[in-house]
Structure 1
Amino acid sequence: MDYPTKIFNHNFTRYRLVCILVILFAHIINTKAQTPISEIDFLLDKAWEHHVSAQLLPSLKEATKALELANTRHYDKGKGEAHFMIGHALLHIGLLKEGLKHMDEIKKTDYYKKKAIVQSEIHRLSAQFYTKLELHQLALREYQKQQKLLGSLEGEKKTMSLLYLYSNLAYTFKKMEKIDSVEKYTFRQLDLLHTLEEKDEKVHLQYVSTYDDLGSLFIHKKDYDKAQAYLDKSLTTVEKYNIPIFFNTMIFLGKLEKERGNYKKAVIYYNKAIANTIQIGDRSALRNQYKQLSDFYREYSLGQEEANQYLLAYSRLNDSLETENKLVIDTALGHILDAKDKAENRNSSRYRNVIISILIFVLLLSVYFLWRARKNRDVLKEREVILNEKEKINKALSEAIQENKFNDLLTLARSNSPEFLILFTELYPEFIHALKNLDPKIRNTELEFCAMAFLNFSSKNIAEYTYVTTRAVQIRKNRFRKKFGISSDVDFNLWMREQVEPIELNR
Structure 2
Amino acid sequence: MKFIILLFPVLLFAQPKIIPKTVDQKLERSNALLMDGKTDDMITLNLSILEDSKHINYAKGRLAAYYNLALAFSLQYRYNKSNHYLKMMEPEFKKANDEDQEIAMNILYSINYRGIKMYDEALKKLKKNLVLANDLKTDSVKYSIRSMLLVQIAKNYIEKKDYDSASYYSKRVIEEVKKPKKMDPGLNTSLKVTLLLLAEAKLNQNKIDSAEFYVKSAQSVPIQFGSNEFTTFKLLGQIHGAKKEYDSAVANYKKAIELAAKAKNSRKLLELYGLISGIYEQTGQADEEKKYELTYNKLNDSLKIIDEENLNDTVDLLVEEKQKPLEDKNNLLLYIILAGAAGTAIITFFVYRKIKNKNKILNVKEQETQELNQKLGLAFEEVTQLAKNNDPEFLTRFQEVYPEFFPKLLKIEPQLLSTELKFCALLFLNFSTKDIAAYTFVQPQSIQTRKNRLRKKLNIPSDEDIYLWMKNINDAV
Normalised by the length of structure 2, the TM-score is 0.53
Contact 1:173 1:182 in 2 (8 A): yes
SS at match of 2:37: coil
Match of 1:162 in 2: 146
2:435 & 2:58 partners in 1: Cα distance?
Answer: 63
Match of 2:341 in 1: none
Match of 1:457 in 2: 389
Distance 1:491 1:146, change over 3 A: closer
Contact 1:257 1:266 in 2 (8 A): yes
Within 5 Å, give how 1:78-93 maps onto structure 2.
78-93=61-76
Distance 1:232 1:266, change over 3 A: farther
Letter in 2 for 1:75: Y
Q: Which runs of 5+ in 2 are unaligned?
A: 1-18, 317-384, 398-433, 458-477
Letter in 2 for 1:215: A
Contact 2:133 2:146 in 1 (8 A): no
Match of 2:122 in 1: 139
1:187 and 2:171 are equivalent in the alignment: yes
Letter in 1 for 2:286: Q
Contact 2:215 2:236 in 1 (8 A): no
**How big is the shift at 1:184?**
1.6
Specify which of 196, 205, 215 is matched with residue 234 of structure 1.
215
1:242 & 1:46 partners in 2: Cα distance?
Answer: 18
**How big is the shift at 1:166?**
0.8
Within 5 Å, give how 1:364-403 maps onto structure 2.
400=309, 403=312
Deviation per CA, 1:109-149, whole angstroms, max 9, x where unpaired? 36654223222212222222232244444433432343213
Percent of aligned pairs sharing the same letter: 12
1:186 & 1:194 partners in 2: Cα distance?
Answer: 13
Deviation per CA, 1:96-119, whole angstroms, max 9, x where unpaired? 233323323322236654223222
1:303 and 2:285 are equivalent in the alignment: yes
SS at match of 2:290: helix
Specify which of 157, 166, 169 is matched with residue 173 of structure 1.
157
**How big is the shift at 1:188?**
0.8
Distance 1:176 1:154, change over 3 A: same
Specify which of 97, 101, 104 is matched with residue 121 of structure 1.
104
Letter in 2 for 1:498: V
Within 5 Å, give how 1:473-492 maps onto structure 2.
none
Distance 1:504 1:177, change over 3 A: farther
Match of 2:362 in 1: none
1:149 & 1:52 partners in 2: Cα distance?
Answer: 26
Specify which of 208, 213, 219 is matched with residue 203 of structure 2.
219
**How big is the shift at 1:92?**
1.8
Distance 1:111 1:40, change over 3 A: farther
Distance 1:186 1:305, change over 3 A: same
Within 5 Å, give how 1:405-424 maps onto structure 2.
none
Deviation per CA, 1:169-191, whole angstroms, max 9, x where unpaired? 11123334444422220111123
Max Rg structure: 1
Contact 1:196 1:203 in 2 (8 A): no
SS at match of 1:54: coil
Q: Which runs of 5+ in 1 are unaligned?
A: 1-35, 330-397, 408-452, 466-489
Letter in 2 for 1:154: T
Contact 1:290 1:311 in 2 (8 A): yes
Match of 1:62 in 2: 45
Match of 1:103 in 2: 86
**How big is the shift at 1:253?**
4.8
Contact 1:454 1:497 in 2 (8 A): no
2:128 & 2:221 partners in 1: Cα distance?
Answer: 37
Deviation per CA, 1:24-75, whole angstroms, max 9, x where unpaired? xxxxxxxxxxxx9666556555544433433223322333344345445543
Letter in 1 for 2:251: N
Contact 2:63 2:92 in 1 (8 A): yes
Within 5 Å, give how 1:312-351 maps onto structure 2.
314=295
Distance 1:198 1:272, change over 3 A: farther
Higher mean C-alpha displacement, 64-73 vs 160-169: 64-73
2:308 & 2:240 partners in 1: Cα distance?
Answer: 44
**How big is the shift at 1:254?**
4.5
Letter in 1 for 2:389: F
Specify which of 423, 442, 447 is matched with residue 498 of structure 1.
442
Deviation per CA, 1:367-398, whole angstroms, max 9, x where unpaired? xxxxxxxxxxxxxxxxxxxxxxxxxxxxxxx9
Deviation per CA, 1:204-253, whole angstroms, max 9, x where unpaired? 5544432332232233334x2xx412422422552686967765345335
Contact 1:44 1:66 in 2 (8 A): yes
1:209 and 2:153 are equivalent in the alignment: no
2:144 & 2:124 partners in 1: Cα distance?
Answer: 20
Deviation per CA, 1:237-285, whole angstroms, max 9, x where unpaired? 52686967765345335545656xx5x3255324223235537845655
Q: RMSD in angstroms over aligned alpha carbons? A: 4.9
**How big is the shift at 1:152?**
1.5
Match of 2:332 in 1: none
SS at match of 1:151: coil
Distance 1:456 1:73, change over 3 A: farther
Distance 1:106 1:188, change over 3 A: same
SS at match of 1:152: coil
SS at match of 1:94: coil
Match of 1:273 in 2: 253
Normalised by the length of structure 1, the TM-score is 0.50
**How big is the shift at 1:162?**
1.5
SS at match of 2:245: helix
Number of aligned residues: 321
Contact 1:254 1:267 in 2 (8 A): no
Distance 1:120 1:196, change over 3 A: same
**How big is the shift at 1:160?**
1.8
